[in-house]
């Protein structure tokens, strides 16, 4: 059995996503399990090189996890021919320039969404990566969530019959930061720093809808900033210039309608922080991060509208839990393993920078739809 090393420059690992999901729960977890099996008995061994702006933070991270390699000099790391992959989980506004450099240096690319701050930039990254002949991918972690994997299983098994509609509810209360610290970074609430719930969440909704139900053909959105003033990491008040809530309606290929609310200014009265209800002629399902419950046509109650009496039926109890039928790993890690196999073995892979650009496109059209009070068709992207 041979161990083949793949060296990954990981930029933005001091951030929430870069650290928790990508470094600790993906790359370090892969190392803990011994690497990625390549199928012939060989193992792929990821070796992270931590990259960032703050020397002391990188050094501390490296020491904490027993890692040898870190640098504050991105250019030097990219000039190193032993680096195979450039990974980017920086703030969104810093991504495009860094990914361009990495493509120019001939590195394979894997990065967080959104891939750029506008569609032109996102498409250009996809074009450059294709022209350079490097492998490229974008994080699309939600499709690897247990709840959505079970939903996919239902769709593939024909449970729904014709799918009519999808209603998604995402959100929770993000504290303003004055009397309780905010649980998200302040740049998320400043448009000038790449923040906003539309650019953050519409890329997720694009691939979730596309992968499960089909391409989005039109978008109509109402976007707003419910909380205009927040307090940052230093306790200083700032104006929230970015949208914190978006109410979107998406028409899908084939005619199904998806309606998704995204908000950092709602309180949770749901079982999970995101839930999708799918209604089909033959049955319905409610899928969250981990759970998925169904109600079949044959087990559908017949409610009769009568507000003069208490609701006679326990509607929520009438749904049936979809069993796991397997073990679910962390979604970020699963996608990393697939990407590493794509790099090492040319294994099939569809979540590339063009797919990433589709997410940016939907966010851009959603914002325009709200600003102009119009519904937009979503043109198919090609390179």
Summarize as ranges the residues that interact with ligand NAD (CB under 6 A).
12, 14-18, 52-53, 89-92, 94, 112-113, 139, 141, 185, 200
Q: What is the DSSP string of 287-315?
A: E-SS-EEEEEGGG-------TTS---S-G
Task: Give the nearest distance from C-beta 123 to ligand NAD in angstroms.
Answer: 18
Task: Give the nearest distance from C-beta 203 to ligand NAD in angstroms.
Answer: 8
The Cα 345–Cα 382 span in angstroms is 26
The nearer residue to ligand NAD, 182 or 322, going by C-beta atoms, is 182
The Cα 329–Cα 244 span in angstroms is 30
Asked whether the beta carbons of 93 and 360 are under 8 A apart, the reply is no
The nearer residue to ligand NAD, 99 or 322, going by C-beta atoms, is 99
Q: With H, G, I as helix, E, B as strand and everything else as coil, classify residue 81.
A: coil
Work out whether strand 3-11 and strand 85-88 pair parallel, antiparallel, or are unpaired: parallel
Two tokens, residue 326: 């397997």
The nearer residue to ligand NAD, 107 or 293, going by C-beta atoms, is 107
Task: Give the nearest distance from C-beta 153 to ligand NAD in angstroms.
Answer: 22
Task: Give the nearest distance from C-beta 96 to ligand NAD in angstroms.
Answer: 11
Task: Give the nearest distance from C-beta 160 to ligand NAD in angstroms.
Answer: 26
The nearer residue to ligand NAD, 233 or 313, going by C-beta atoms, is 233
Task: Give the nearest distance from C-beta 39 to ligand NAD in angstroms.
Answer: 28
Burial of 377 (0-12, 13-18, 19+ CB in 10 A): exposed
The Cα 58–Cα 73 span in angstroms is 12
Task: Give the nearest distance from C-beta 189 to ligand NAD in angstroms.
Answer: 12
Task: Give the nearest distance from C-beta 92 to ligand NAD in angstroms.
Answer: 4
The Cα 292–Cα 139 span in angstroms is 23
Considering only CA atoms, give the Rg of the chain: 22
DSSP 322: P
Asked whether the beta carbons of 286 and 319 are under 8 A apart, the reply is yes
The nearer residue to ligand NAD, 274 or 294, going by C-beta atoms, is 274
Work out whether strand 237-239 and strand 229-231 pair parallel, antiparallel, or are unpaired: antiparallel
**Residue with nearest beta carbon to ligand NAD:** 15
Helix, strand, coil shares, percent, the chain, to 5: 35, 25, 40
The nearer residue to ligand NAD, 160 or 351, going by C-beta atoms, is 351
Q: What is the DSSP string of 158-200?
A: TTTSSEEEEEEEEE-BPP-SSSS--SS-GGGG-GGGT--HHHH
The nearer residue to ligand NAD, 63 or 233, going by C-beta atoms, is 233
Tell me how many degrees the CA angle 178-179-184 measures, rounded to the nearest 5.
60
Task: Give the nearest distance from C-beta 304 to ligand NAD in angstroms.
Answer: 42
The nearer residue to ligand NAD, 62 or 94, going by C-beta atoms, is 94
The nearer residue to ligand NAD, 15 or 171, going by C-beta atoms, is 15
């Amino acid at each position: 059995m041979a161990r083949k090393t793949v060296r990954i420059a990981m930029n933005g690992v001091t951030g929430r996503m870069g650290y928790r999901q990508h470094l600790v729960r993906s790359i370090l977890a892969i190392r803990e399990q011994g690497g990625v099996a390549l199928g012939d008995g060989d193992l792929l061994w990821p070796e992270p090189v931590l990259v960032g702006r703050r020397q002391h933070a990188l050094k501390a991270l490296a020491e904490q996890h027993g890692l040898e390699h870190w640098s504050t000099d991105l250019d030097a790391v990219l000039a190193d021919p032993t680096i195979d992959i450039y990974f980017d989980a920086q703030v969104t506004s810093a991504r495009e320039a860094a990914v361009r450099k990495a493509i120019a240096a001939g590195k394979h690319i894997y990065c967080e969404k959104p891939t750029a701050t506008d569609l032109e930039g996102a498409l250009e990254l996809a074009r450059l990566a294709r022209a350079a002949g490097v492998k490229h991918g974008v994080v699309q972690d939600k499709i690897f969530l247990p709840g959505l994997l079970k939903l996919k299983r239902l769709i593939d098994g024909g449970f729904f019959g014709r799918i009519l509609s999808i209603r998604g509810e995402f959100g929770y209360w993000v504290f303003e930061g004055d009397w309780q610290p905010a649980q998200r970074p302040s740049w998320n609430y400043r448009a000038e720093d790449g923040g906003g719930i539309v650019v953050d969440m519409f890329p997720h909704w694009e691939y979730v809808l596309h992968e499960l139900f089909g391409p989005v053909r039109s978008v109509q959105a109402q976007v707003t900033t419910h909380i205009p003033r927040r307090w940052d990491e230093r306790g200083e008040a700032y104006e929230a210039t970015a949208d914190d809530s978006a109410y979107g309606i998406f028409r899908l290929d084939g005619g199904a309608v998806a309606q998704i609310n995204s908000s950092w200014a709602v309180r949770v009265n749901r079982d999970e922080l995101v839930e999708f209800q799918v209604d089909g002629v033959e049955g319905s399902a409610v899928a969250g991060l981990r759970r998925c419950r169904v109600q079949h046509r044959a087990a559908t109650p017949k409610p009769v509208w009568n507000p003069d009496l208490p609701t006679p039926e326990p509607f929520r109890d009438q749904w049936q839990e979809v069993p796991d039928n397997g073990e679910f790993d962390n979604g970020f890690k699963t996608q990393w393993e697939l990407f590493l196999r794509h790099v090492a073995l040319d294994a099939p892979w569809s979540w590339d920078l063009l797919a990433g650009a589709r997410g940016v496109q939907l966010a851009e059209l959603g914002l325009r739809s709200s600003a102009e009070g119009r519904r937009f068709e979503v043109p198919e992207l090609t390179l």
